[in-house]
Amino acid sequence: MSTDIQITDSHCHLDFPDFDENRAEIVARAEAAGVTRMVTICTKLRQLDQVKAIAEEFPSVFFAAGTHPMSAAAEPLVSVDELIALTNHPKFVGIGETGLDYHYTADSKAIQQESLRNHIAAARETGLPLIIHSRDADDDMARILSEEHKNGAYSCVMHCFSSSAELAKAALDLGFYLSMSGIAAFPKSQELRDIFATAQIERILVETDAPYLAPPPFRGKRNEPSYSVHTAQVGAGVFNMDWPDFAAQTQQNFDRLFWKVAEYRAAA
């Protein structure tokens, strides 16, 4: 695999205990595979210091923070001002992940929706991209994203997208991005690949969601940022593109959405 081809893992969780014993090795392995940038996501603000320290330690790692919807009921409700204050850090590049998850936590949907709207307001105010997690909540997700967009435009990526064609269309119609995870590379995910194929290539990102959802040939094992290359190669096939062209296009897409990363690298 040529390391001349570069991609970005737009969503991973390098602070998780799965990586405690060999985090530096994991980052080095990603870089050697051509994954030159990683965005590690803080899902509970009480863990922010740990996530921030990882981004500060590794030049190729950036971070985002928010309250994951599955934790919305157990964590203090984050305010718009609290989220905005985080953006002062030069390597803080996105708001979230936030969103709605009714699969296991439908009983907290009201607080999830309130938390989501606060994150949207912070994304709108700062111009940083909103990072959305959505599971079994397509109707409410499409409605809230649309309602809030009418109140003022903001940018957004539907992380680890594996929802319906209807939610994909709603997000794309708002100018948002869809991110391909290892799920899109699973053999039985043809329907999902078909949904991605309806999107404009300019709206596609690649991620791992590591340590979860490792793509073939690593399915069932701990995922890591270097494996995003395997998902990206599947993505190239979805869009009938040569692998170098697909990689270059997703890099452009990432730079456009995560503009603060591009500015940081340019200034370095």
Q: The CATH number of the domain where 139 resides is what?
A: 3.20.20.140
Residue range(s) defining the domain that contains residue 261? 7-267
Domain assignment present for 231: yes
Give how far Cα 105 sits from Cα of 70, 160, 161, Å: 6, 18, 19
- Residue-wise pLDDT for 29-87, tens only, equals 999 999 999 999 999 999 999 999 999 999 999 999 999 999 999 999 999 999 999 99
Domain assignment present for 174: yes
The percentage of the chain sitting over the pLDDT mark of 70, rounded to a whole number, equals 99
Q: Is the pLDDT of residue 15 over 60?
A: yes
> If you average pLDDT over every residue of the chain, what do you get?
97
**In this predicted structure, what is the pLDDT of residue 2?**
44
User: In degrees, to the nearest 5, what angle opens at C-alpha 196 toward C-alphas 238 and 225?
Assistant: 75
Helical axes 138-151 vs 109-126, angle rounded to 10°? 30
Average pLDDT, stretch 130-141? 98
Domain assignment present for 83: yes
- Residue-wise pLDDT for 193-204, tens only, equals 999 999 999 999
| Ramachandran bin of 68, using left for φ above 0, alpha for ψ from -120 to 50, beta for the remaining angles | beta
- Residue-wise pLDDT for 144-172, tens only, equals 999 999 999 999 999 999 999 999 999 99
Domain assignment present for 86: yes
Domain assignment present for 42: yes
Q: Is the pLDDT of residue 101 over 50?
A: yes
Structure tokens at 87: 């953006």
CB 150 within 8 A of CB 182: no
Domain assignment present for 1: no
Domain assignment present for 2: no
Is residue 267 very low, low, confident or very high in pLDDT (cuts 50, 70, 90)? confident
Domain assignment present for 262: yes
Average pLDDT, stretch 210-222? 97
Number of domains in the chain: 1
